[in-house]
Amino acid sequence: MRRIISLICFLLPLAAIAAPSPIAPQLRPDAPDHYVVVKGDTLWGIAGKFFQDPWRWPYLWGVNKDSIRDPHWIYPGDRIVLDRQRGILARAPVVEAAREIVRLSPHTRETTGEHEAIPSIPADAIEPFLSRPLVTEDATGIPQPTVLGAREGRVIFGEHDTIFVAGLPHDSGKQWLIYRPGKTLTDPQSGESLGMESIYLGSAELQSGGEISSLLITHSAQEIYQGDRLMAPATSPVGAYIPRAPDTLIKGQVISVLGGVSQAGQNSVVVLSKGRRDGVEPGHVLALYRKGESLRNAGKTYMLPDERYGLVFVFRVFERVAYALVMETRLPVQLLDFAETP
């Protein structure tokens, strides 16, 4: 057991003044007076119980991303009370039974560890994609290690096979991911090449290094061939993602759906045509829009307004593209739909 000093309630009055948006989120008419956090909750889900827009969850605690960098110390058993006068929610740390007064002050709480804190979003939905190679950008210009083959002239490999690789750096660790270059990602507006999708094939562990390195395939998602590439795993902890709207206007398009399909549903992963250079950051929430259709009536053509139908959560950002999880949608997400600042 370890003690963690939580200052969330102490910071509430000051942080509420520095709310991330001048417009307070709209409370749901059926919002309860209080809620007790249970195992399996997410900040997104709890905010959805109170507000029309779950990504406005910073109002849930009366804090923003600048005042508290790690707002994930909310645990099962915590009681959330709605302050209807101020339009925010607060965690009620101590209730004095005799006077029924909620005391908002710093306090000590016991917990078995940070791993019990509830996450921002369903962590298992994005964990498989945090370390895998997703896109190879032309701007890198760095040749990737390449599978040469195996003993006895074999050219197709799978789990538990030993492969030989050329160009493996000597100081990049023992764990490696194997991928195959896929289709080229292109900006629908400018025609610019944004990079090349990477098809994840499996994982391998370094056995011996040198000019030609030997690796053991520890996991195989697909058959691995001569000429396939290797890349070191990325490090992107789930807890670092804080759902929030971008501070500036960002407008991109869905240019690919992970899995090679043309449509996506809830909990699917999509690729957006904007990246780090455009101001996109992990944690950004963007609204999905379908371009308005043209309607002809009485000899006249009318253009219907664009239709907002869902939300995506950006979890991994490259220089020119970003990967996002479809959090909410009432329509199938289609290629070339727009994703922009809500």
Tokens of 280: 């996109």
Distance between alpha carbon 171 and the CA centroid of its chain, in Å?
29
317 shares its domain with 212: no
Q: For 28-32, 219-223, 300-304, which range has the lowest pLDDT when averaged over its residues? A: 28-32
Please indicate, yes or no, whether residues 100 and 138 belong to a single structural domain of this protein: no
Whether residue 182 is found in the same domain as residue 257: no
124 in a structural domain: no
Domain presence at residue 189: yes
Are 100 and 181 part of one and the same domain? no
| Residue 288 within a domain | yes
> Is residue 149 included in any domain, yes or no?
yes
Name every residue whose Cβ is closer than 8 Å to that of residue 62 and which is 6 or more positions away in sequence.
Answer: 12, 13, 15, 16, 19, 86, 88, 89, 90
- Give the domain-ending residue among 99, 118, 137: 118
Same domain, 7 and 99: yes
Residue 236 resides in a domain: no
Q: For residue 311, is pLDDT > 50?
A: yes
Residue 64 scores a pLDDT above 50: no
CATH, residue 286? 2.40.10.410
Residue 273 within any structural domain of the chain: yes
Same domain, 195 and 219: yes
- Regarding whether 25 and 89 lie in a shared domain, the answer is yes
Cα separation, 47 vs 210, in Å, equals 53
- For residues 223 and 286, membership in a common domain is answered with no
28 and 94 in a single domain? The answer is yes
Domain membership of residue 248 (yes or no) is: yes
Strands 2-6 and 101-102: unpaired
Last residue of a domain, one of 213, 231, 249: 231
Number of domains in the chain: 3
pLDDT by residue (tens digit) across 225-280? Answer: 999 999 988 876 655 567 888 989 999 999 999 887 788 888 899 999 999 999 99
pTM of the entire predicted model: 0.76
Residues 246 and 221 in one domain: no
Q: Which tokens sit at 93?
A: 């740390």
The verdict on 8 and 112 lying in the same domain is yes
Contact 27, 83 (CB under 8 A): no
Q: How confident is the model at residue 314 (pLDDT cuts 50, 70, 90)?
A: very high
Whole-angstrom Cα distance, residue 335 to residue 262?
A: 6
Task: With respect to residue 137, please indicate whether it lies within any of the assigned structural domains.
Answer: yes
Is the same domain home to 215 and 274? no
Distance (Å) of CA 188 to CA 10, 216, 274? 48, 40, 11
Q: Which of 193, 211, 231 is the last residue of a domain?
A: 231
Range of the domain at 210: 129-231
> Which residues are within 8 A (CB) of 319 and not within 5 positions of it... i.e. 6 or more apart?
137, 139, 195, 275, 276, 277
Torsion over CA of 222, 225, 228 and 230, rounded to 10 degrees?
70
